[in-house]
């Protein structure tokens, strides 16, 4: 585990082909940015943007696993399954964003604010 920080070999950084681990790092950063966004933002649309980032991080992972050219043992890749999962995630994210925006617009029309800290009508 201590060696994993030195893995990206700085000498041949641009010479070697990329592996799945590179894509997983990108997916992790996207995911974590999305989680931070969801946790930090007070604007409801900011939270929605965090959700989109989270879904994209997961998609990057799926597409990386689906590619037989990124894996040394290419026959064990997910193949088409990974790409189709990523496709459906995109479609479902679009559907969920539409509903979330409809809810946000309704909330805005009824409360004149998009600040989610003000959404406390049901608070005991």
> Of the two residues 74 and 119, which places its CB atom closer to other proteins in the complex?
74
9 is a contact residue toward other proteins (CB under 8 A): no
103 is a contact residue toward other proteins (CB under 8 A): yes
99 is a contact residue toward other proteins (CB under 8 A): yes
Q: Which residues inside 36-55 make contact with other proteins, applying CB under 8 A?
A: 36-37, 39-43, 45-46, 48-50, 52-53
Alpha-carbon gap, residue 111 to 124, rounded angstroms:
19
The SS3 assignment for 124 reads: coil
| DSSP type of residue 9 | -
> Of the two residues 76 and 123, which places its CB atom closer to other proteins in the complex?
76
Distances from the Cα of 114 to the Cα of 61, 66, 105, angstroms? 32, 39, 8
80 is a contact residue toward other proteins (CB under 8 A): yes
119 is a contact residue toward other proteins (CB under 8 A): no
| DSSP type of residue 19 | -
Tokens for 14?
Answer: 């641009």
Give me the least distance between CB of 124 and other proteins, in Å please.
22
Q: Which residues inside 56-75 make contact with other proteins, applying CB under 8 A?
A: 56, 59-60, 63-64, 66-75
Tokens for 84?
Answer: 């189709």
| DSSP type of residue 115 | B
């Amino acid at each position: 585990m201590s060696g994993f920080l030195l893995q990206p070999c700085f000498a041949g950084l641009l010479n070697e082909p990329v592996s799945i681990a590179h894509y997983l790092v990108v997916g992790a950063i996207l995911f974590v940015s999305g989680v931070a966004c969801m946790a930090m933002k007070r604007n409801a649309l900011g939270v929605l943007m965090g959700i989109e980032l989270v879904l994209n991080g997961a998609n990057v992972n799926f597409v990386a696993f689906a590619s037989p050219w990124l894996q040394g043992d290419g026959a064990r890749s997910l193949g088409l399954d990974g790409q189709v999962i990523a496709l459906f995630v995109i479609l479902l994210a679009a559907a969920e964003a539409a509903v979330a925006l409809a809810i946000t617009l309704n909330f805005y029309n009824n409360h004149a604010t998009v600040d989610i800290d003000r959404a406390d009508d049901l608070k005991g």
